[in-house]
A and B are shown apart, each in its own frame.
Chain A
Amino acid sequence: MSLRELKVCLLGDTGVGKSSIVWRFVEDSFDPNINPTIGASFMTKTVQYQNELHKFLIWDTAGQERFRALAPMYYRGSAAAIIVYDITKEESFQTLKNWVKELRQHGPPNIVVAIAGNKCDLSDAREVSEKDAKDYADSIHAIFVETSAKNAININEVFIQISQRIPVIDADGGSAVKGFKLRRQPSESTRERTCC
Chain B
Amino acid sequence: MAADVHNKGVSWEIKNGNLAPSDRLRQDRSDSPTPGLVEGTEPGAGQEGAMFVHAQSFEDLTADSESNTDNKSAEVGDSNPENAQKAALEGGEEEVQEESLEAEQEEVGKEEVQSSNKAKEEDVTSETWRSHRKHVFVLSEAGKPIYTRYGTEEALSSIMGVMMLLMSFVEDKKNTIRSIHADGYRVVFLRKSPLILVGVFRTSCSDRELTRELHYVYYQIVSLLTLTQLNHVFQNRQSYDLRRLLAGSEHLTDSLLRLLDRDPGLLLSAVMCLPLASSARDVVSSSLQAAKAKNLVFSILLAGNRLVTLVRKKDQFLHHMDLHLLFNLVVSSSSFREGEGWTPICLPKFNPAGFFHAHISYLEPASDLCLILVSTDREDFFNLSDCKKRFLERLRRRSAYQSLQEALNMPSYPVSQVGIPELRHFVYKSKSSGLYTSPDLPAPYQEEEEHERLMGLYQHLHSCLHNPTRPLRYIYRCAETENLYALVTSGFELYLCFSPLGTKGLAVSAVNKLLKWIRKEEDRLFILSPLTY
A residues bordering B, Cβ < 8 Å? 14-15, 19, 22-23, 26-27, 31, 33-43, 60, 62-67, 70, 73
B334 touches A35 (CB 8 A): yes
A19 touches B245 (CB 8 A): no
Q: What CA separation (Å) do A37 and B245 show in the bound complex?
A: 14
Residues of B within 8 A of A22 (CB): 339
B341 touches A41 (CB 8 A): yes
B379 touches A38 (CB 8 A): no
> Cβ of B251 < 8 Å from any Cβ of A?
yes
B338 touches A23 (CB 8 A): yes
Q: What CA separation (Å) do A19 and B225 show in the bound complex?
A: 23
B335 touches A36 (CB 8 A): yes
Partner of A73, one of B225, B245, B248, B378: B378
**A36-B248, A64-B249, A66-B245 given; A73·B379 CB < 8 A:** yes
Residues of A within 8 A of B385 (CB): 42
Since A38-B336, A40-B342, A43-B338 are in contact, a sample of 7 more A-B pairs with Cβ atoms closer than 8 Å, ordered by chain A residue number, is A26-B339, A31-B334, A34-B334, A34-B335, A38-B335, A41-B340, A62-B248
Residues of A within 8 A of B343 (CB): 38-40, 62, 67
**A38-B329, A40-B343, A65-B244 given; A27·B338 CB < 8 A:** yes
Query: Which residues in window 311-336 of B have CB below 8 A to A?
Result: 329, 332-336
Residues of B within 8 A of A62 (CB): 248, 343
> Cβ of B182 < 8 Å from any Cβ of A?
no
User: Smallest CB-CB separation from A39: which chain B residue?
Assistant: B343
Q: What CA separation (Å) do A150 and B152 show in the bound complex?
A: 28
Q: What CA separation (Å) do A105 and B338 show in the bound complex?
A: 32
A42 touches B249 (CB 8 A): no
Chain A nearest CB from B363 CB (Å) reads 16
Chain B nearest CB from A91 CB (Å) reads 13
Chain A nearest CB from B355 CB (Å) reads 10
Residues of B within 8 A of A39 (CB): 341-344, 358
Q: What CA separation (Å) do A26 and B333 show in the bound complex?
A: 19
Partner of B338, one of A38, A41, A67: A41
Chain A nearest CB from B229 CB (Å) reads 8
- Closest 6 A/B residue pairs (Cβ): A39-B343, A36-B248, A43-B339, A64-B248, A41-B339, A66-B245
Q: What CA separation (Å) do A34 and B335 show in the bound complex?
A: 7
Q: What CA separation (Å) do A31 and B245 show in the bound complex?
A: 25
Q: What CA separation (Å) do A116 and B339 show in the bound complex?
A: 22
Partner of B335, one of A15, A19, A73: A19
B341 touches A40 (CB 8 A): yes
Q: What CA separation (Å) do A70 and B342 show in the bound complex?
A: 11
> Cβ of B10 < 8 Å from any Cβ of A?
no
Residue interface bits B235-259, CB-to-A below 8 A is 1, else 0? 0000000001111110100000000
User: Smallest CB-CB separation from A70: which chain B residue?
Assistant: B344
Query: Which residues in window 379-404 of B have CB below 8 A to A?
Result: 379, 381, 385
User: Smallest CB-CB separation from B255: which chain A residue?
Assistant: A35
> Cβ of B188 < 8 Å from any Cβ of A?
no
Q: What CA separation (Å) do A104 and B342 show in the bound complex?
A: 25
Q: What CA separation (Å) do A60 and B338 show in the bound complex?
A: 11
Residues of A within 8 A of B159 (CB): none
B247 touches A37 (CB 8 A): no
B335 touches A41 (CB 8 A): yes
Q: For the side of the interface on B, what is the size category?
A: 20 to 34
> Cβ of B296 < 8 Å from any Cβ of A?
no
Residues of A within 8 A of B329 (CB): 38
Residues of A within 8 A of B335 (CB): 19, 34-38, 41
Residues of B within 8 A of A38 (CB): 249, 329, 333, 335-336, 341, 343
User: Smallest CB-CB separation from A27: which chain B residue?
Assistant: B338
> Cβ of B224 < 8 Å from any Cβ of A?
yes
Chain B nearest CB from A3 CB (Å) reads 17
Chain A nearest CB from B444 CB (Å) reads 31
Q: What CA separation (Å) do A26 and B334 show in the bound complex?
A: 16
User: Smallest CB-CB separation from A29: which chain B residue?
Assistant: B338
Q: What CA separation (Å) do A27 and B341 show in the bound complex?
A: 16
Q: What CA separation (Å) do A114 and B336 show in the bound complex?
A: 25
Q: What CA separation (Å) do A42 and B386 show in the bound complex?
A: 13
A66 touches B246 (CB 8 A): yes
Residues of A within 8 A of B338 (CB): 23, 26-27, 41, 43
Residues of B within 8 A of A26 (CB): 338-339
Residues of B within 8 A of A14 (CB): 247-248
Q: What CA separation (Å) do A63 and B246 show in the bound complex?
A: 12
Residues of A within 8 A of B341 (CB): 38-42
Chain A nearest CB from B337 CB (Å) reads 9
Write 7 A-B pairs (CB below 8 A) sorted by A numbering: A26-B338, A38-B336, A40-B343, A41-B335, A64-B248, A67-B344, A73-B378
A66 touches B224 (CB 8 A): yes
Q: What CA separation (Å) do A23 and B244 show in the bound complex?
A: 26
Chain A nearest CB from B227 CB (Å) reads 14
Residues of B within 8 A of A31 (CB): 334
Q: What CA separation (Å) do A31 and B338 show in the bound complex?
A: 11
Residue interface bits B3-15, CB-to-A below 8 A is 1, else 0? 0000000000000
Q: What CA separation (Å) do A70 and B248 show in the bound complex?
A: 16
User: Smallest CB-CB separation from B243: which chain A residue?
Assistant: A65
Chain A nearest CB from B250 CB (Å) reads 9
Residues of B within 8 A of A36 (CB): 248-249, 251, 335
Partner of B339, one of A33, A60, A65, A67: A60
A42 touches B334 (CB 8 A): no
Residues of A within 8 A of B378 (CB): 70, 73
Chain B nearest CB from A143 CB (Å) reads 23
Chain B nearest CB from A77 CB (Å) reads 11
Q: What CA separation (Å) do A64 and B249 show in the bound complex?
A: 9
User: Smallest CB-CB separation from B229: which chain A residue?
Assistant: A66
Q: What CA separation (Å) do A66 and B333 show in the bound complex?
A: 17
Chain B nearest CB from A29 CB (Å) reads 8
Query: Which residues in window 6-48 of B have CB below 8 A to A?
Result: none
Residue interface bits B344-382, CB-to-A below 8 A is 1, else 0? 100000000000001000000000000000000011010
Residue interface bits B203-234, CB-to-A below 8 A is 1, else 0? 00000000000000000000011000000000
User: Smallest CB-CB separation from A62: which chain B residue?
Assistant: B248
Chain A nearest CB from B204 CB (Å) reads 34
Q: What CA separation (Å) do A19 and B334 show in the bound complex?
A: 11
Q: What CA separation (Å) do A38 and B332 show in the bound complex?
A: 11
Chain B nearest CB from A148 CB (Å) reads 19
Chain A nearest CB from B471 CB (Å) reads 40
